[in-house]
Amino acid sequence: MDDVKNKPRRDFIVLTASAVAGVGAVSAIWPLLDSLNPSADVMAMASIEVDLSSIEVGQAITVKWRGKPIFIRHRTEKEVSTARSVNVSELPDPQTDEERVKKGHEQWLVMIGICTHLGCIPLGQSLGSPKGEYGGWFCPCHGSEYDTSGRIRKGPAPKNLYLPEYTFLKNTFIKIG
């Protein structure tokens, strides 16, 4: 039996924002617009907006932003409390969970989904995929393990998963970039 068929469809949600195509188009015509100094326009096009309302607790989605995968996880209460019970001074890249999320939106973790070792894309986005010993993400390339705050806990990666610039426009609506 095909294992993929047994998993919930929502497990495989991958969204590609239309703004990504817009960025490419703007880049292609850059020489023509250069004299008009369109940098503000380019920056605006380089942002994407993501509706989080359909992501259930415990689920994660991946969106593309400026060519990079952005991991968005709707964390469970347990994932949040586990991330906050860690002794930060013992972490390879010390950072509190509070520093990695937006105040009042602690359940949402938004990160660049690229391993800080050599750039592989960690596993852990879909419900059934390996999340490593710390319940976050597992990089299959050389075994780095990230926790439910996306902090590096084990393996060769030197840094926590990076955070993109983003803001909450509404309770379940964010703008990245």
Measured from the CB atom, the residue of 48 and 139 that comes closer to ligand FES is 139
d(CA 93, CA 12): 30
Min CB(115)–ligand FES separation in Å: 3
Q: Which spans of this chain sit near ligand FES (rule: CB under 6 A)?
A: 115, 117-120, 139, 141-144, 155-157
- Three-state helix/strand/coil letters over 95-120: CCCHHHCCCCCCCEEEEECCCCCCCC
Min CB(143)–ligand FES separation in Å: 6
CB 17 within 8 A of CB 63: yes
Measured from the CB atom, the residue of 100 and 117 that comes closer to ligand FES is 117
Show which residues are catalytic. 142
Q: Which residues contact 60 (CB under 8 A, 6 or more apart)?
A: 71, 72, 73, 74, 124, 125, 126
Measured from the CB atom, the residue of 22 and 156 that comes closer to ligand FES is 156
Sign for the CA dihedral angle at 162, 69, 44, 104 comes to negative
